[in-house]
Amino acid sequence: MIAAPKPPYDELVAAWKALRRTHGLRVREVACVGAPRTLLVAEAGADHRPTINLSAGMHGDEPAAPWALLSIVTDRLLDENYAYRIWPCINPSGYVAGTRANAEGHDVNRSFSRGGQTPESRAIVTANRDRRFAMSIDLHEDYEAAGFYGFEPLAPGARPRFVAAAVAAVEAAGLPIQDLADVSFDLGSPPEARACQTIGHGTVTVDAREESRYFSDGLTMSLFLLRQTAAVGLTFETPLGRPWNDRIAMHRIAVTTAIALVE
């Protein structure tokens, strides 16, 4: 498909760095060992507060997600009762090229096993070592989708608490929700993984332990974080074919709704 127009990566970096001055954000770049690139990481809020991990740009051809995350912070939509670790664009070489994969051709979101199997995931795993998160949210887009949907992986015995509320809030704002009942709709996970997924209205809840078996070659970041650190690891997906501002609005509503439900 033809890549949609998007602002350049340098503009995204400059916008985040500008928040140091206006928002007191701590923004730095971490090295990607073995690759000629760095990842932006931003920290907000007092260290003693429970921390929420936010990320976007894992797939370089899903450009509204990083800009949605930037707008959430810029517009001060984050609940100040939490601290935040933010990965504004996890796959900058993919963003620049407009590709799902990184410059080496790897899907970063299948590389979170064994300490990280891509330069990007290694940088994140290393930086997140010894951190614990109250929640983690990863923002994506889906070129096949016509509406918003989200994933909520669950620890054994846990009940879903977040994704249905996020979907309901997006819908209440008059924005479309993806119909997931059609099994031909590709959720991006291996077909066998369907067995451990429960489909609702714009929601996919997943038995995380079961699903991890289908990603034995390389975990997604959400599954990795759920094992290592985060009590809740949500993934939100916006429809690439919708207008840019709708996609930004969907992520803003979903993220703020989910964070409001953290206990």
Residues of this chain that bind Zn ion (CB under 5 A)? 59, 62, 140
Closer CB to Zn ion, 51 or 117, in the complex: 117
Total count of residues recorded for the chain: 263
Distances (CA, A) of 2 to 5, 61, 126, 141, 227: 9, 10, 35, 15, 36
Rounded Cα distance between 191 and 214, Å, is 9
- Nearer residue to Zn ion within complex by CB, 37 or 110: 110
6 vs 59, which CB is nearer to Zn ion? 59
Question: Closest CB to Zn ion among 62 and 152?
Answer: 62
Q: Output the six-digit token pair for 200.
A: 């609702």
Distance in angstroms (rounded) separating the CA atoms of residues 147 and 238: 6
Helix (H, G, I), strand (E, B) or coil at 200: coil
* Smaller CB separation from Zn ion, 146 or 262: 146
Nearest to 162 by CA among 126, 197, 135, 188: 135
Q: How far is CA 137 from CA 89, 131, 226, 258, in A?
A: 13, 15, 11, 9
Residue 253 CB, nearest approach to Zn ion (Å): 19
How many CB atoms within 10 Å of residue 18?
13
Phi, psi of 27 (to 5 degrees): -120, 130
Q: Is the CB of 44 or the CB of 206 nearer to Zn ion?
A: 206
